Amino acid sequence: MTAVQTDPVVSTPYGAVRGRREHGVAVFRGIPYAAPPFGPRRFRPPVPPEPWDGVREAADFGPTAPKPPYSDAFAQYLSDPFVPGDDCLNLNVWTPEPGPGARLPVLVWLHGGALTRGSSAVPVYDGLAFARDGVVFVSVNYRLGVEGYGLFPDAPANPGLRDQLAALRWVHESIAAFGGDPGRITVAGQSAGAISIGALLAAPQAQGLFRRAVLQSGPPEASDRDKVRRMVRRMATRLKVPATAAAFAEVDRELLLRTQAEVGRLSSPVLGGPAFGIVVDDDLVPRDPLEALVEGSAARGVELMLGWTSDEYRLWLVPGGLLERVDRLGPVALAGAMARCHCGSEVVRGYRALHPDAGTADIVGQMVTDHLLRIPLHRLAEARPGSSYVYEFAWPSHRPDLGACHALELGFVFDTGAAPESAKLAGEGAPTELADAMHGAWVRFAADGDPGWRPWDATHPVQIFGKGDPYVESGPRDHDFAVWTADTTTPETAPVKEPAEGWPARTAELRSVVRRLRRTGLARRH
């Protein structure tokens, strides 16, 4: 006689929750780790949720943080579900074996979305495969945009990052009841999620809450406080209110989102501009995270896995046909890239020499990607030899022109390639063997800190996940990175030669491209 499986019930510090049995694992969705951040708690640090009596149902995803939708150009590639409600500081748990005796490795996922979009409800982030393979998987919602990263004179900075810290504390205290080992917690994230992890690695208050970290396509960094203030001030001007948390807390939530989206069009991942970001705050983030980590004053003993995709920038330029337009701009676009990267013309000439067949858009895209993303991660690996593992995702999408773009690796890491939301980026027929390899590496790293290739050393080993079997290559981008250290000029001392004809027209077209990038609605990073 077959035993009837009942829905699992687990006790948390604030009350019991009832999950569901799905495909052989237990799933708990929408568990609050902090109180709703609205009313008197708006723009304030998170506080614990109110305890509840009885058993709380945890079958469905909880509310998502307020956020504007992606533009039409990006919505065809990226999914971003919206769940209404105030109780948006919640998390989800997938576990193969709820109960305090299992002591399984734990992976906590922080989603990307430029700190303005995204949520744990994105179907690509389904934790089933991790739980199936013996890892307790946790995904987290946190405040976004001005609610989470606005900078005000009358409120603490970085409330969204403080939400993530509160979630990690909840996991550390509560995960044993779900079968997890609080001594084997890995925190992982992509893009803005990886940037958040970089800050948490360097945050004194987060020390001891996790043992390992995975940074996918996002470096440790602190944003310029003036850029974030400009975002808030521009919003305040449009709203006709003071640039204070008290004033913004009185603004209708939907109006605040619309205003944020309008002001956010002034920012793009390629051309920069004011944007929301994590800032140094003398409290949670006492100094620039990358410098703290490189100098060795933070996160000692934490094992790292770091990586990027081969064509990150193509997600930023392909939607809306911007790739071809940047190619046509030629020297004008290269001058814009020099300004964005704060470099001289020697960098451009170096990339041209190393990649003679590349078009202007590819040169611009790779320069910006290296400056913003790969070189900082490379510096971090150099500072942590023996305990850092580096990868590059190189499989090109089946969708036209995307190549191995930003966020494409996610469906492989989660082994969710069969989901329609994964096919929006990968196209149909993505290789399951590649998903097996990547997902397996993430599982092994969470379990014992060894993803399956040798750690960073003087030979600069990088695991390449592309067509065919994965393989290790020594320093595949070292020549590109060396161009930056050889650069001795600045934009002021190394002017770009203007073409004899067509310069005004091309400058006008560059301005048009800038406007198109602003209209995409994708902020600094996915």
Residue 321 CB coordination number (10 Å): 12
Does residue 350 contact residue 358 with C-beta atoms inside 8 Å? Answer: no
Q: H helices of 358-453, where? A: 360-369, 375-383, 410-413, 420-426, 432-448
DSSP classification of residue 272: B
Helix axes 478-486, 375-383, angle to 10 degrees: 100
DSSP classification of residue 455: P
Closest CA to 442 of 170, 125, 183: 125
Burial class (CB in 10 A: 0-12, 13-18, 19+), 207: middle
Tell me how far the alpha carbon of residue 156 is from its chain's centroid.
22
Q: What share of the chain is helix, strand, coil (3-state, %, to 5)?
A: 40, 15, 45
Tell me how far the alpha carbon of residue 319 is from its chain's centroid.
19
β-pair partners for 392: 308, 464
Residue 316 CB coordination number (10 Å): 25
221, 305, 471 from 468: Cα distances, Å = 34, 22, 9
Please identify every residue annotated as catalytic. Answer: 191, 312, 406
Instruction: Give the span between the Cα atoms of 111 and 142, in whole angstroms.
Output: 9
Instruction: Give the span between the Cα atoms of 64 and 66, in whole angstroms.
Output: 6
Q: What does the buried/exposed string (b/e) look like for 58-86 if buried means 16 or more CB atoms within 10 Å of the residue's CB?
A: beebbbbbbbbebbebbeebbbbeebeee
Does residue 200 contact residue 161 with C-beta atoms inside 8 Å? Answer: yes
Instruction: Give the span between the Cα atoms of 418 and 405, in whole angstroms.
Output: 19
Q: What's phi and psi for 120, nearest 5 deg? A: -75, -10
Q: H helices of 44-134, where? A: 72-75, 128-132
The one-letter amino acid at 428: E
513: CB partners within 8 A, 6+ apart:
322, 325, 326, 329, 333
68, 121, 313 from 89: Cα distances, Å = 17, 13, 31
Instruction: Give the span between the Cα atoms of 345 and 220, in whole angstroms.
Output: 27
